[in-house]
Amino acid sequence: MSATPAWASVPLSEFQLAVLMFCLGGLVTLVTVVMILRGHRHWRHRDPFDRSA
């Protein structure tokens, strides 16, 4: 591993960093799932080339 740059040297304990990443990962996954399901519902019974959509 390379030396840690200043921007990555956040004053967090290992556990706090892990909880932060866990929450961020859950949020990104949730937002992605919502985006896909919205898109799927939107196109489900439409013409796949509908210009108004």
Partner 1 sequence: MNSSPLLDPGIAWFLLVAFSVLWIALGIWWGRRGGSSADDYLLAGRNIGLALSTATLMASWVTGNTTLAAPEVGYTLGLWGMFGYALAGLGLLLFAPLAIRIKRVMPHARTSGDFVRMRYGRLTWAVFLVITLVYTAGFLITQGMGAGLLLQSLSGFDYRVGMLLVIGVSTVYTLFGGMKAVVGTDFIQSMLIMVLLAVVAVLGYSRFGTGAIYAQLAENHPSRLNLLLPAGLLFAWNTGLFSMGEVFHNNIWWSRVFASRESVVFRSFILGGVAWVTVPIVTGSIALMALARDLPIPQVNMVFPLMTARLLGSAGAMMVFIIIFASLTSTLDSLLASTADLLAEDVYLKMLRPQATDEQVRRAARRIVVLLGGVTVLLSWSYITSMYQLLLFTGALVASTIWPIAYGLYWKSASRHGAVVAMVSGSAVGLAAYVWIAPYCAALLSAAVSAVVMAVWTHLAPEDFDWRRLAHH
Q: Does 34 contact partner 1 by CB under 8 A? A: no
| Spatial distance between the Cα atoms of 9 and 30, rounded to a whole number of angstroms | 28
CA atoms within 13 A on the CB side of 27: 6
Cβ-count burial of 4 within 10 angstroms (0-12 exposed, 13-18 middle, 19+ buried)? exposed
Q: Does 2 contact partner 1 by CB under 8 A? A: yes
Beta carbon of residue 47, minimum distance to partner 1 (angstroms, whole number): 9
Beta carbon of residue 11, minimum distance to partner 1 (angstroms, whole number): 14
- Residues forming the site for partner 1 (CB under 8 A): 1-2, 4-5, 8, 14-15, 17-19, 21-22, 24-26, 28-29, 31-33, 35-40, 42-43, 48-51, 53
